[in-house]
A and B are shown apart, each in its own frame.
Chain A
Amino acid sequence: MTTTTAPKPAPEGSASLRELLQTNDAKRRRTDVTMRVLITAAFVLAMLPLLSLTYTVVSQGIGRLDGYFLMNSMRGVFGGMDAGGIYHAIVGTLQITLFAALISVPIGLLTAIYLVEYGGGKPLAKTVTFLVDVMTGIPSIVAGLFAYALFALLLGPGAKFGFIGSVALSVLMIPVVIRSSEEMLRLVPNELREASLALGVPRWLTILKVVLRTSVAGLTTGVMLAIARVIGETAPLLLTVGVIDSINFNLFEGRMMTLPVYVYRQYAQGLVPCSADDAACIPDINIQRAWAAALTLFLIVMLLNLIGRLVTRWFAPKIR
């Protein structure tokens, strides 16, 4: 005869239980401490470059960053003159990036909606996914060349204006938007789609008002990351938009300056040879301007992320 007994608590009573509760496993404690140290070290290691970068950009750039610098262009500025600013570059960067976003977000979002809601493993969806993967790997200079060549075909060689830059940037942005939106849409539980469909809501309204509404926070984050990814692009803009010293508001005509290109140009010009009797001449003015412009770009990206955060918080589902 076999009897099975359920595990019983030790019979000795509360004293032994108290002892059991207080036993201290030295080996586990050591492992715990070791892992804590390792994880903290890894964190610090990851933070070091970031902090160092932030410190360098801020400390080098803050000196020149003032109202004058933000509100003036480089028109008529030469040599070691204590003048010049980045207004024209800010205008260019904001306009070109905004248009890139206006092109990429609808295309990217609609593609993601197709892939998640309608694609369902169809050959077309598989092809699109494959092409998006390929697009993700395109070097930015190739995107620039593509946009340049496209407009050279349409308008004749040598065309350079802001919108071409937007097209080049959107080539880089679209795959990022598709990928991140796709992930976010897949996170929306199917029950919510079914709940809406079962109320007699057509599919398109279900997607618009339930699926997109539920995932809007994640979608915004994705778009913000995509913008941050392209706003610092230099090579494709140098190729398609060129450089200019004065202010140009027209995205469809004439060259434009952008912040990354500005930084590159100033830095490339290097030190100014000042004559000894010219007291107003600053030898490293170009370098100073480059750092200050870099800091501005840095702040713009931070600001965009902050806005993204606020939007995310605003739209997030609330429990109470």
Chain B
Amino acid sequence: MAQRIDVKDLNIFYGSFKAVADVNMTIEPRSVTAFIGPSGCGKSTFLRTLNRMHEVIPGARVEGTVAVEGVDLYGSEIDPVAVRRQVGMVFQRPNPFPTMSIAENVLAGIRLNNRKMSKSEGQDLVEQSLRGANLWNEVKDRLDRPGSGLSGGQQQRLCIARAIAVKPQVLLMDEPCSALDPISTLAIEDLIAELKSQYTIVIVTHNMQQAARVSEKTAFFNIAGTGQPGRLIEIDDTATMFSSPKEQATEDYISGRFG
């Protein structure tokens, strides 16, 4: 089901500013890959190129290839909408739609696309997705209440439920726990552990322990200085990265001797 992602010679620009340079990496299917690195090194930027959300920003463009199971996402005949249907995304700040109820938020990917779905199918999908996101028990009595009435952690899990309701192959998460308390963080980490049996997951995090806990592979990005592009320093098995990284910079960053 889930797909392998090959990134080759990727350069990412905001207008004339080169934010990320020369990324080559392979993301294994049905596993969790964590991106770590100092602030501003381009982790979010790179993550957003994996489902073509980068080009939503005016002036932003990409050189190189991102291939999912051999299909280049940036090929001229590829529809970005189709890409985003297969590669879902959870944002750093929870962003439920304020005009929709909890259930409607979960079904947003279907409803907003004008796809028809019978009421019972819809209910099933809502329950399935909310259970998948570990939120069902907390909200099952108030599915028709607005999503913005939930706590931050609940809202974030609602956004995850919304993302998995469209059944993507790949799930991108940009610091999904940065606004959450330890308990909600654990709930989401458990969720990631469950989801990886079906999805390819890429997660950006500033929390080393979290990267060590949830991921199979870790990629370290770094930036030489302001105005310079960010670069992928190395990517390896998480255990190797945290015990004996090949690069000095990685070791410095992981052990807190950075900068």
Contacts and interface: CB of A to CB of B under 8 A. Distances in A.
Given A199-B112, A201-B109, A213-B99, A319 B162 contact: no
A317 interface: yes
B206 interface: no
B93 interface: yes
B56 A317 contact: no
A214 B148 CA distance: 13
B84 A191 contact: no
Interface in B41-91: 51, 53, 56, 58, 81-86, 88-89, 91
Query: Which 3 residue pairs spanning A and B have beta carbons closest together?
Result: A200-B85, A317-B98, A199-B109
Contacts, number: 84
Given A192-B97, A200-B84, A317-B99, A210 B53 contact: no
Contacts of B109: 199-201
Interface residues of B, number: 33
B178 interface: no
A158 interface: no
Contact of A198 (B88, B97, B98): B88
Given A194-B56, A200-B85, 9 more contacts: A192-B97, A193-B56, A199-B84, A199-B109, A199-B166, A201-B108, A202-B113, A209-B111, A214-B98
Contacts of A194: 53, 56, 91, 95
A195 B95 contact: yes
B98 A201 contact: no
A27 interface: no
Nearest to B85: A200
A269 to B, nearest CB: 53
Given A194-B53, A319-B148, A199 B99 contact: no
Contact of A196 (B85, B86, B108, B149): B108
B23 interface: no
Interface in B124-152: 145-146, 148-149
A198 B114 contact: no
Contact of B91 (A120, A191, A210, A318): A191
Contact of B112 (A191, A205, A318): A205
Contacts of B108: 195-196, 199, 201
19 contacts: A121-B58, A191-B93, A195-B91, A195-B97, A196-B97, A198-B88, A199-B84, A199-B109, A200-B81, A200-B82, A200-B85, A200-B109, A200-B168, A201-B113, A205-B113, A206-B112, A317-B98, A317-B99, A317-B146
B163 interface: yes
A190 B51 CA distance: 17
A198 B51 contact: yes
Interface in A200-249: 200-202, 205-206, 209-210, 213-214
Contacts of B146: 317-320
Contacts of B159: 195
A317 B85 CA distance: 27
A121 B58 CA distance: 10
Given A205-B114, A214-B99, A317-B98, A198 B89 contact: yes
A197 interface: yes
Nearest to B101: A318
Nearest to A199: B109
Interface in A178-199: 189, 191-199
Nearest to A196: B112
Given A191-B93, A205-B113, A197 B149 contact: no
A197 B148 contact: no
A192 B97 CA distance: 7
A201 to B, nearest CB: 4
A196 to B, nearest CB: 6
